[in-house]
């Protein structure tokens, strides 16, 4: 999964991608010299971070979900929410934010709310600075259980110890261990 994201990013970056390709032509095609996928390496660029994370927002028949439904990021990392199909929002459980009835993000954390987006490919970005557990929902599909969880750095805050009022999310420990929990894996 990480590799796929890297490839996607490389495709988007014009010169950056070319540079990478040029470097590769030096040796054998299947060099496999860089077989250590280490997301914690601190070689980030400002802006188009190569290890950016994307959560897809999906309508599939009568199913409405975030995928991955559970995601781990480091503090300071950006998450992109992207419409794959249907109309959705990514809205933090923070009392006072849209229709959130409870607060399930860390104390002092900046709430986020994409509002409803309905164009395929539309994106909303949020950078997570404060460590802890963030539960969020989709405004139009909250009552149908469309919720998700992001753990930043390590689990913590009011979301721990219970599930969101509108649906289920993976345990934070599982999210930390796996880095990402797909919807099919979680619901399957």
- Which strand ranges, in their side-by-side order, compose the sheet holding 123-128? 63-67, 53-60, 77-83, 123-128
Which 45-104 residues touch Cu ion, going by CB under 5 A? 64, 88
Phi, psi of 80, rounded to the nearest 5 degrees: -105, 125
Tokens of 143: 């009552």
Which residues does residue 56 pair with via DSSP β-bridges, in sequence order? 67, 82
- The DSSP letter of residue 69 is S
Identified binder of Cu ion from the candidate list 90, 146, 150, 169, rule CB under 5 A: 146
Q: Work out whether 138 is an interface residue with Cu ion (CB under 5 A).
A: yes
Identified binder of Cu ion from the candidate list 94, 104, 126, 141, rule CB under 5 A: 141
Give which of 104, 105, 138, 103 is closest to 124, Cα–Cα: 138
Which range touches Cu ion (CB under 5 A), out of 15-23, 40-48, 143-151, 155-163? Answer: 143-151
Shorter beta-carbon distance to Cu ion: residue 51 or 134: 134
Shorter beta-carbon distance to Cu ion: residue 111 or 148: 148
Please, are residues 135 and 147 in contact by the beta-carbon 8 Å criterion?
yes
Number of residues that bind Cu ion (CB under 5 A): 5
Shorter beta-carbon distance to Cu ion: residue 64 or 124: 64
Q: Work out whether 124 is an interface residue with Cu ion (CB under 5 A).
A: no
Residues that bind Cu ion in the complex, under the rule CB under 5 A: 64, 88, 138, 141, 146
């Amino acid at each position: 999964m990480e590799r796929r994201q890297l490839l996607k990013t490389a495709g988007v970056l014009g010169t950056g991608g070319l540079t990478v390709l040029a470097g590769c032509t030096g040796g054998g095609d299947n060099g496999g010299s860089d077989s250590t996928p280490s997301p914690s390496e601190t070689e980030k660029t400002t802006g188009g971070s190569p290890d950016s994370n994307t959560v897809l927002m999906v309508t599939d028949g009568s199913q409405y979900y975030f995928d991955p439904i559970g995601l781990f990021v480091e503090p300071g990392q950006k998450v992109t929410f992207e419409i794959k199909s249907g109309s959705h929002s990514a809205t933090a459980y923070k009392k006072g934010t849209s229709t959130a009835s409870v607060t399930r993000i860390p104390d002092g954390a900046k709430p986020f709310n994409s509002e409803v987006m309905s164009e395929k490919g539309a994106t909303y970005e949020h950078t997570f600075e404060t460590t802890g557990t963030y539960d969020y929902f989709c405004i139009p599909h909250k009552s149908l259980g469309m919720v998700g969880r992001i753990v930043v750095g390590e689990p913590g805050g009011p979301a721990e110890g219970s599930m969101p009022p509108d649906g289920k999310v993976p345990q934070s420990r599982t999210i930390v261990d796996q880095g990402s929990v797909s919807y099919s894996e979680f619901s399957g």
